[in-house]
Structure 1
Amino acid sequence: MSVDFGQIRRNEHLPARIAAQIAREITEGRILPGEKLPTEHFLANSFGVSRSVVREAIAQLRNEGLVETRQGVGAFATELQTRQSIRIEQDDLHDRSTFRDLFQLRIPLEIEAAGLAAIHHADADLAKLDEALAAMTGTDKWTDQGIVADLIFHRVVAAATGNEYFALFVGFIAERISLAINAARAAAVLEEIVEVTIAEHVAIRDAIASRDPHKAREAMKRHLLGAANRLDLTLES
């Protein structure tokens, strides 16, 4: 199969835009149900991005039910009868009220996910949180790679609940909220907002590690309300 994906515009959030383009290939039938997607290496070269960005796009498609991944084999378009119907186009979220509504839904889901993660997480989950934090605090923290690591952090928290539906819905929403991260970075002094965001994530990680669900919920709540404030969103909580 040869798919000419072209170059993605650099001023867009790359994983979301790549996911949207691959999704069109699937929904319009150019990638057939059950067909294997091109390799990460091929996609990264085709889009002109890193493999970590491609992995983030594939994770988004998996959350949407358009793709399934098989360990050591690759990613495949799901069969029609198994596809889930959750899909929100990125362009829809340029409408402020729609974006606010989605962000509002994020609040209770992620707060409860943090609490459950504090109770149910395994050592492997903490290791993954630490890995994401390392990426968020490293030399790439000013770039799109820092945003990718931020999204991975939230997906790991959701997975650590032990409830696959949290992983599904929180992962789906977090991908869409990537717009928020970009918008917040654009609206503030980058150094300040990145450091504040990192500190909030460290607090969430430490609260989860302490196995205190109350502290974990409060840490996640402070982060989400802080993120909303940085976007000038007024949310009920």
Structure 2
Amino acid sequence: MFSKVSGPLRLADQVAAMLSEEIESGRLAEGDKLPTEVELVKQLGVSRTVVREAVSRLRSAGLVEPRQGRGVFVMPRRIRPLDLEAETAQHTESKVRLIVEVRRPIEGEAAYLAATRATPADLARMRQALEAIDTAVAAGGDGVDEDLAFHRSIAESTGNPVMVSTVRYLGEVLRSGIRVTRANEARSSDFLEAVRQEHHSILAAIEARDAEAARDAALLHLKHAASRLNEADEGFWAETGNLEVDLDATP
């Protein structure tokens, strides 16, 4: 059924791509059972570890489902999660830049809507989130979870369930991107203070009910985040390694 794989790409990437193509093309249809692990190892000429990693990736993408004692089966077709680790996966630097691009329109609009809809309780949560970032950094932490919580609190204050679901869906990607941007910013006290001021500017505009200013502040924050990334040297990017992004994970 399958031919052996080889070449410059990681074997797991090739196997995952091959199986995905079989599913997307319909040659493996909904409810079909994948060949067993032993069969795939024999047909593809790869190790069990490679097969397991490839199948795990398909499972994360919502393409297949393991069933206890029965095997792995093709799932019903649905909108597939984005895959930033497909065979065309790019370097960490490129991935983070793509994430920043996605964040711009979403977070800009979220800030705009928050300025018009946030309740006093919503505003209190945003302030608490900013305080939590300061506390985490002062304690030697990276502030990633707290940073993400701040941006999520803005989305939640829009009262738009689709906006909230979108931000939650992207949670792990945002977490990965924020982890790298904050690691870059932590290299400079000036960067950290700039980020702090940008966050407070977003909140101040939301509290002032100035929707345009809130959107502008959010967009400026992400524009500056991209600029700060431009200042990172090759050594920094080498240290970060490849992002591991699972868009099916629950934030």
Confirm or deny a common fold (TM above 0.5).
yes
* TM-aligned CA deviation for residue 137 of structure 1: 1.1
Alignment partner of 1:154 is 2:151: yes
Alignment partner of 1:86 is 2:81: yes
In the alignment, which residue of structure 2 is the partner of 1:192?
190
Q: Is the contact made by 1:112 and 1:217 (CA closer than 8 Å) also made in structure 2?
A: yes
* TM-aligned CA deviation for residue 195 of structure 1: 1.9
In the alignment, which residue of structure 1 is the partner of 2:200?
202
- Render the CA deviation track for 1:101-156: whole Å, top value 9, x for unaligned: 33212211111110000001111111110111111111545413x11110001111
Q: Is the contact made by 1:154 and 1:171 (CA closer than 8 Å) also made in structure 2?
A: no
Which residue type is aligned with residue 227 of structure 1?
A
Q: Is the contact made by 2:130 and 2:199 (CA closer than 8 Å) also made in structure 1?
A: yes
- Render the CA deviation track for 1:169-212: whole Å, top value 9, x for unaligned: 23333531333333334435243322221111111111111111
CA radius of gyration, larger in: 2
Which residue type is aligned with residue 163 of structure 2?
F
Same amino acid, percent of matched pairs: 34
CA, structure 1 residues 94+118, in 2 after alignment: closer, same or farther (shift >3 Å)? Answer: same
The 2-side partners of 1:227 and 1:30 are apart by 44
Q: Is the contact made by 1:102 and 1:173 (CA closer than 8 Å) also made in structure 2?
A: no
The 1-side partners of 2:227 and 2:132 are apart by 24
Q: How many residues are paired up?
A: 163
SS in 1 for 2:159: coil
Residue segments in structure 1 that go unaligned for 5+ positions in a row = 1-19, 32-79
Aligned Cα RMSD in Å?
A: 3.2
What pairs with 1:56-135 in structure 2 (closer than 5 Å)?
Answer: 85-88=80-83, 92=89, 94-135=91-132
CA, structure 1 residues 86+206, in 2 after alignment: closer, same or farther (shift >3 Å)? Answer: same
Residue segments in structure 2 that go unaligned for 5+ positions in a row = 1-55, 69-74, 232-251
Alignment partner of 1:228 is 2:226: yes
The 2-side partners of 1:167 and 1:88 are apart by 21
TM (normalized to structure 1)? 0.57
In the alignment, which residue of structure 2 is the partner of 1:138?
135
In the alignment, which residue of structure 1 is the partner of 2:213?
215
